[in-house]
């Protein structure tokens, strides 16, 4: 005789729908405990924990982004800006590629009395041009050209004089105008650094590697260097680019300046400096506080300039002096040097058209 599942005393069937006598489903909580979820059943009472690492990673990335962006604007605000690249009637039109006028001044600002004595810089106030170079980079390659400070050139609003006299007469703005008129090149960016900033930048990266061809002893520049490849400190490097106590005097001097700036940029952008906060941070702080740039220049422009000069030091570009002509002397001017008219014209024409510099105009 079949047994009936009718309740003995009436009421709800305790087996119907697997419910308890109160109508509750005893298995309803299994979904919360993992039944049917990925990975199978979980032990009773154990809850599924969501992974937190995506949120942590996102938080870290946001913090890094804030630090990088904030750091960039902070460093950019430390640059010393002046109104240098001003428009004037007859200014050369914009041309392909990018042109920088890079100036080293003899400003002693930032040097202690002990350093001035050690580096034999003297106590002169103000600032005068101690070195001038034109950097061009673009489709035609990268070129770094020395402009000797004794170059005899027409100075707008003045009579012809040495190139560094333009800076003395009208500061960086008149210097830029003089260079633009002489080359028919439009200067896009300007960078200037004094003795103090020079020394600080070199020391912040642990010195610069230079190969000295022969002994260089010059009390006026505060150096006594032995021949051979070596790492120069900030003070030694300053003397290296200042000295004229060599066979070719100022011609060797401008060659040393190009050699040094290429080596400086190469090391500054090396992984050993860029990835080392004990080098990169002091470098960034020294560079931004000691460079004088045009009012429209920014930190990103300096970084691009440094990277371009790094290419020059790697042998991928051209380093040369403007082709020189005759030496002369004049009352009120002193000894000066002229540019070779034909060769310098070829040089500036190539840069204006963003073409490689012709080999016949490359000199030391």
Give the residue among 148, 156, 144 at the shortest CA–CA distance from 180.
156
Give every CB contact of residue 3 below 8 A, 6+ residues apart in sequence. Answer: none
The DSSP bridge pattern shows strands 228-232 and 141-146 to be unpaired
Give the residue among 229, 172, 245, 240 at the shortest CA–CA distance from 202.
240
Q: How far apart are CA 159 and CA 55, in angstroms?
A: 69
pTM: 0.77
Q: How far apart are CA 112 and CA 147, in angstroms?
A: 30
Q: Residue 233's pLDDT is what?
A: 92
Q: Residue 274's pLDDT is what?
A: 87
Q: What is the DSSP string of 73-136?
A: HHHHHTSEEE--S---TTPPPP-SSEEEEEEEE---TT--HHHHHHTT-----S--EEEEEEEE
- Domain 100-361 belongs to what topology? Aminopeptidase (3.40.630)
- In sequence order, the β-bridge partners of residue 56 are none
Residue 283 burial class via C-beta count within 10 angstroms: exposed 0-12, middle 13-18, buried 19 and up:
buried
Q: How far apart are CA 243 and CA 236, in angstroms?
A: 11
Element (H, E) at 338: strand 334-339
Tell me which DSSP letter residue 357 carries.
P
Q: How far apart are CA 329 and CA 189, in angstroms?
A: 33
- Per-domain residue ranges of the chain: 100-361
Q: How far apart are CA 166 and CA 174, in angstroms?
A: 6
Residue 344: both structure tokens together: 């310098």
Residue 197: both structure tokens together: 């900033």
Residues of the chain with pLDDT under 50: 1-9, 12, 15-19, 27, 29-39
Q: How far apart are CA 75 and CA 66, in angstroms?
A: 14
Find tokens 């109508």 and name the residue. 23
Q: Residue 356's pLDDT is what?
A: 93
Residue 314: both structure tokens together: 């790697």
Q: Residue 62's pLDDT is what?
A: 78
């Amino acid at each position: 005789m079949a047994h009936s599942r009718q309740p003995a005393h009436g009421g709800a069937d305790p087996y119907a729908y697997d419910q308890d006598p109160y109508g509750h489903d005893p298995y309803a909580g299994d979904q919360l405990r993992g039944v049917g979820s990925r990975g199978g059943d979980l032990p009773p009472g154990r809850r599924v924990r969501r992974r937190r690492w995506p949120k942590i990673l996102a938080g870290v990335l946001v913090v890094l982004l804030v630090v990088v962006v904030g750091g960039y604007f902070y460093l950019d605000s430390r640059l010393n800006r002046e109104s240098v690249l001003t428009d004037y009637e007859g200014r050369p039109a914009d041309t392909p590629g990018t042109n920088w006028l890079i100036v080293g001044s003899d400003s002693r600002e930032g040097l202690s009395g002990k350093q001035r004595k050690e580096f034999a810089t003297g106590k002169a106030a103000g600032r005068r041009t101690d070195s001038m170079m034109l950097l061009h980079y673009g489709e035609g390659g990268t070129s770094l050209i020395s402009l000797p400070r004794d170059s005899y050139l027409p100075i707008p609003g003045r009579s012809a004089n040495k190139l560094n006299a333009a800076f003395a007469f009208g500061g960086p703005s008149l210097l830029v105008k003089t260079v633009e008129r002489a080359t028919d090149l439009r200067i896009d960016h300007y960078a200037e650094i004094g003795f103090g900033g020079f020394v600080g930048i070199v020391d912040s990266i642990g010195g610069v590697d230079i190969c000295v061809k022969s002994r260089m002893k010059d009390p006026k520049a505060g150096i006594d260097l032995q021949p051979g490849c070596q790492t120069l400190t900030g003070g030694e490097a300053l003397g290296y680019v200042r000295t004229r106590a060599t066979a070719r005097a100022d011609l060797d001097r401008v060659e040393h300046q190009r050699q040094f700036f290429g080596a400086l940029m190469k090391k500054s952008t090396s992984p050993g400096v860029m990835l080392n906060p004990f080098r990169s941070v002091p470098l960034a702080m020294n560079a931004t506080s000691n460079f004088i740039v045009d009012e429209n220049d920014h930190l990103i422009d300096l970084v691009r300039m440094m990277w371009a000069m790094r290419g020059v030091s790697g042998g991928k570009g051209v380093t040369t002096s403007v082709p020189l002509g005759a030496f002369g002397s004049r009352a009120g001017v002193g000894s000066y040097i002229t540019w070779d008219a034909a060769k310098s014209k070829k040089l500036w024409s190539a840069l204006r058209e963003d073409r490689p510099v012709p080999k016949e105009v490359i000199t030391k």
